[in-house]
Amino acid sequence: MTTQTTEAQRLVALVRAQFGLPDLVLHLTWLLAAGQPVSVDEAAAAGGWTVEQLRTELARHPGVAWDNDGRIAGFGLTLHPTPHRFTFDHRTVYAFCASDTFEFPLILDRPGVVESVCAATGQPIRIELTPDRVLTVDPPEAVVSKVRPDHPVDDVRAEMCNRGSFFSSPAAARDWLASHPEAAVAPVHEDFAITRQAIIQLGWAAD
């Protein structure tokens, strides 16, 4: 078993343990990718849950993004701007963390472009993706930071997503890693491959 496969399996186990409603991330990604916030009623109907089930689950996640009308605006994929943009079909959405952008091509079955900035230097980072592979990375040495605990956390966005960033190179990430010993970095191609394996194992990849 390769290291990438092992990491993908660990990620799958964490996702399954973290979220009480199966496929919650999947359904909200589909809905929010249309470009508009969704009501809890709409999301519950799409996932086959009761409104009470969905409200109970969302209450467990302080990082959910809401609009002023009480509609869901972000859960992994978000309509509120963050440093991590994903553009597809002439539409731009955002991600809570860097690695989340690698999920979107597979779930949506669309190629796209990820744009972000190095968390240390501010240097622009641009990645072209398809559901199957990374096409280009600029700069080529860019890496992704990530935190992958072995147990569920209380606040996914605060404890994991906010520590998932792009860096222009391993050297650029060095000081950040020194102050975040719980984190790791990986080249873009490697982290995409791990994410892709996990999405497929979860059954979230578009047919």
Report pLDDT digits (tens) over 40-89.
Answer: 999 999 999 999 999 999 999 999 999 999 999 999 999 999 999 999 99
Q: Which residues of 159-196 are buried (b: 16+ CB within 10 A; e: fewer)?
A: ebbebbbbbbbeebbeebbeeeeebbbbbbebbbbbbb
For 162, the 3-state DSSP assignment is helix
- Residue 2 is predicted with a pLDDT of 85
Specify the DSSP class assigned to residue 97.
S
Specify the DSSP element, H or E, that contains 11. helix 3-18
Tens digits of residue pLDDT in 134-146: 999 999 999 999 9
- Residue 207 is predicted with a pLDDT of 73
Q: How would you classify residue 173: left for phi > 0, otherwise alpha for psi between -120 and 50, otherwise beta? A: alpha
pLDDT at 1 over 80: no
Tens digits of residue pLDDT in 94-126: 999 999 999 999 999 999 999 999 999 999 999
What integer is the mean pLDDT of 9-31?
95
Tens digits of residue pLDDT in 80-96: 999 999 999 999 999 99
**CA 52 – CA 74 distance, rounded (Å):** 19
Task: Please answer whether residues 129 and 192 qualify as being in contact, where contact means their C-beta atoms are separated by less than 8 angstroms.
Answer: yes
CATH number attached to the domain at 3-202? 3.30.450.410
Domain borders along the chain are: 3-202
Tens digits of residue pLDDT in 167-189: 999 999 999 999 999 999 999 99
